[in-house]
Structure 1
Amino acid sequence: MKVRVDPEICAGFGICTGIAPEVFELHDDGYAVVLVSAIAPGDEDLMLRAESQCPARAISIIPD
């Protein structure tokens, strides 16, 4: 599984960084970026939670 943040949609709420700070970070410009290339097997539920709680709907999950 991979996760992506669409930089054109992200509004910088930062909810994803609170859910999974090891995966998401707010960049200097205030928008979220993904820090890892692939999601660890035990973190799928966190990614689904981050995706569903993103107010801007900027996070998408990409299955392997």
Structure 2
Amino acid sequence: MITINQAAIILNVHPNTIRNYIDRGCLKPFSLPSGKKILLYEDDVRNLIQAKPQERLPNE
């Protein structure tokens, strides 16, 4: 599990872009019991690297 900031570094994007991916359903977030920290599966993040650019973000 990795943080939003770590995911942003892996994908070379701003952390807000990761939040947008979460909002659009491209990444599934998991919250710690405290609810203060959002984590992501690293494999899910790395799978976005292999996705074609048009597949990264679903149409609104």
TM-score (norm 1): 0.29
Higher share of residues assigned strand = 1
Which structure ranks higher in relative contact order (CA pairs < 8 Å, sequence separation ≥ 6)? 1
Structure-2-length-normalised TM-score: 0.30
Name whichever structure is richer in helix by fraction.
2
Between Structure 1 and Structure 2, whose CA radius of gyration is higher? 2
